[in-house]
Structure 1
Amino acid sequence: MRWHLIKQTSWMALFMLGMGLIPSCQSEQNTKPDNLIPGDRMADILTEVHKAETRVSRLGLRSVDSSNIAYKHMEKQIFKRFKVDTAAYARSYGYYSSHPREMEVIYKQVVEKLKKESEAPKPKPAKS
């Protein structure tokens, strides 16, 4: 079941890297934005974002609107936990998307984190 999460994230990473190549071929943003989220921290945030996306998809909500509302709620919680605002996240994501090599490094970390979590031993339920 966790393997599905890793596989889904890997495909998403490849897609995002591909999408990042298009803008970078047109005009590369050479200057780092103010308050750029460091790569390691961005990997932590993206790991949580992908886990939230998976949780929402497993909720089986029939409406796209309901799924979006659930995801946005989870996303707010992630940004709050990492003390990041949506503008800084969007600027950082845009920067890394226009720098595919840096984004690739970040997504390798994301995939590794998800893989470690999926392979971690599960706590045994308490006996009653």
Structure 2
Amino acid sequence: MSEKEMSEIIFELKVLESKVDHFFLRTSDSTKVAYRYLQNKVFEKHGIDSTTYYESYDYYLQNKKKMLNILNAATKKLDEAEKEPEQKLEAVK
């Protein structure tokens, strides 16, 4: 899996974590089930399975410079996504 694709998937999984945290499910088990289900949807979207993702993740952990690049790209995208609602609100004013 390319660095760019890995970064995109990590970004999507972080957004997903945030959404699942706001589902207000009754138990942590329910939260885990919901997250795993949606996580698999992200993997399907990218044409991979969880094994491919975790093998790639482990590979990049062994290549710290590449992993740092991936995480920085994902963080930048998260920062941009956080600003988006603010920009939309400013445009309405």
Q: TM-score, normalised by structure 1?
A: 0.64
Query: Rg: which structure is higher?
Result: 1
Could you list the runs of 5+ residues in structure 2 that have no partner in the other structure?
A: none
**Within 5 Å, which residues of 2 pair with 1:13-32?**
none
The alpha carbon displacement at 1:62 in A equals: 3.1
For the pair 1:73 / 2:37, whether they are aligned, the reply is yes
Kindly indicate whether structure 1 or structure 2 has the higher relative contact order, using CA contacts under 8 Å at least 6 residues apart: 1
The alpha carbon displacement at 1:73 in A equals: 1.0
Q: Deviations over 1:56-109 (max 9, x none)?
A: 111122311101111011101101111111111111011111222111100000
Letter in 1 for 2:79: K
The alpha carbon displacement at 1:55 in A equals: 0.8
Greater shift, 95-104 or 44-53, is seen at 95-104
Could you tell me how far apart the structure 2 residues matched to 1:67 and 1:46 are?
19
One of 73, 80, 86 as aligned partner of 1:109: 73
Structure 2 SS opposite 1:89: helix
Aligned length: 87
Calculate the aligned-residue CA RMSD, in Å. Answer: 1.3
Could you tell me how far apart the structure 1 residues matched to 2:71 and 2:38 are?
20
Letter in 2 for 1:49: L
Q: Deviations over 1:8-60 (max 9, x none)?
A: xxxxxxxxxxxxxxxxxxxxxxxxxxxxx100010000000011111111112
Aligned to 1:55: 19
Could you tell me how far apart the structure 2 residues matched to 1:65 and 1:43 are?
27
Higher helix share: 2
Could you list the runs of 5+ residues in structure 1 that have no partner in the other structure?
A: 1-36, 124-128
Letter in 2 for 1:72: R
One of 85, 88, 92 as aligned partner of 1:122: 88
Identity of aligned residues (%): 26
For the pair 1:85 / 2:49, whether they are aligned, the reply is yes
